[in-house]
Chain A
């Protein structure tokens, strides 16, 4: 028996998320957004959450719906402001949600570091900018670097294309984005997929996220959201 559990319902998949948890949410805009898991988390009821994601919600679905439900204390992301981020914009301007802005590459690398047991790393990204304030610096090879710490989650919610029963995952096109690094960086990684297949049905050479990183899998029906469709 694999440690990964394949569950029948989204509600079972998101059970146990605690108030105050840090939740890593995959997706870049709507591509790779785990819509069903987020809807499940809204039903589950956990609040006071810190959400780590690239954006701060688009339209009224996914992350935007979680924000609208008032469950998020803080968003850590690289790019909150978008043409359709009106839910976040309103909450932020009203002082109802905190924002931590992280350069996109630092966001990805800090997640990677958390998953890989790296204590911290130096990077030139952000050196000499307002985002360097309060950070340790060091000149390496004549260039100023900033010390950046890992970013860990209690829970990761990600969407993949297909899983096998051991939790091995493959993704589809640019919907892969943050899924593989977030899967490594959380205590509990929860994945929604379009399809669950038996062991041996995925080409081992093509597995992107090995099942060791995956705790729970649930199959969901495909949704097709484009930017226009999210409203």
Chain B
């Protein structure tokens, strides 16, 4: 069986090292937080100026002055720190974040990322912090479905959508499998309810298999 979004979030969470400083992108990547055990000591960064972000706030805990990058009210954990935007992005761009997890429209076999703009003429372009995160974090994980709703692969030889950053992604976590991408192309690390042969038939990229 392919993975549900929740199972995929749990799978990504398993690869987050203990004590890591991590930024989770807006949307699906936010769910990864639900699968990080507290004793792992992972510290979440939100680009609007906070380390030590806690879960979403509810009821009386909602504070308009305390939100995440998606403008959702959140909470602070003991040991949290606040800082201004230039510091927050210096943290990112200076290579201090261990991992960021981002969604994507497309990832190329060499780790190019397209996740900010479809290029459609009537779309309003909005980049946010995606370009800074993609070039800054030590490791960039992408979490996405492997195919679009109409069945087009999102892991591609080269991105057709406008790029967010070049050669920045190291791992791609999808509902059908986990892939390493980079200079040497695509390596299949794991498959979910499918085989490398079946994936090869549906993808336009050459798949290398890890030999154990």
Contacts and interface: CB of A to CB of B under 8 A. Distances in A.
Contact of B124 (A32, A92, A106, A224): A92
A59 B125 CA distance: 19
B84 A181 contact: yes
A130 B88 CA distance: 24
A60 to B, nearest CB: 16
Contacts of B46: 174
A227 B71 contact: yes
B128 A78 contact: yes
Interface stretch (A8-16, A42-50, A66-74, A97-105): A97-105
Interface in B85-133: 85-86, 88-90, 92-93, 112, 117, 122, 124-132
A17 interface: no
A175 B128 CA distance: 17
Contacts of A124: 93, 135, 165
A108 B89 contact: yes
Contacts of A126: 131
A105 B83 contact: no
A175 B89 CA distance: 16
Contacts, number: 150
A149 B90 CA distance: 17
Given A174-B65, A181-B86, A129 B71 contact: no
Given A31-B67, A128-B166, A129-B163, A174 B82 contact: yes
Nearest to B130: A103
B164 interface: yes
Interface string B129-159: 1111001100000000000000000000000
Interface in A194-228: 208, 224-227
A109 interface: yes
B49 A128 contact: no
B131 A30 contact: no
B73 interface: yes
A176 interface: yes
A28 B82 CA distance: 14
A111 B86 contact: yes
Contacts of B76: 173
Contact of B64 (A30, A92, A179): A30
Given A79-B127, A79-B128, A172 B65 contact: yes
B129 A31 contact: no
B175 interface: no
A173 B132 contact: no
Interface in A102-129: 102-109, 111-112, 123-129
Interface string B41-58: 000001111100000000
Contacts of A127: 135, 165-166
Nearest to A106: B132
A164 B125 CA distance: 40
A154 interface: no
A28 B122 CA distance: 25
B165 A129 contact: yes
5 contacts: A101-B127, A173-B82, A174-B66, A175-B66, A176-B49
Given A131-B131, A173-B50, 11 more contacts: A58-B71, A78-B127, A78-B129, A79-B128, A104-B132, A105-B92, A108-B89, A109-B93, A176-B84, A181-B85, A208-B84
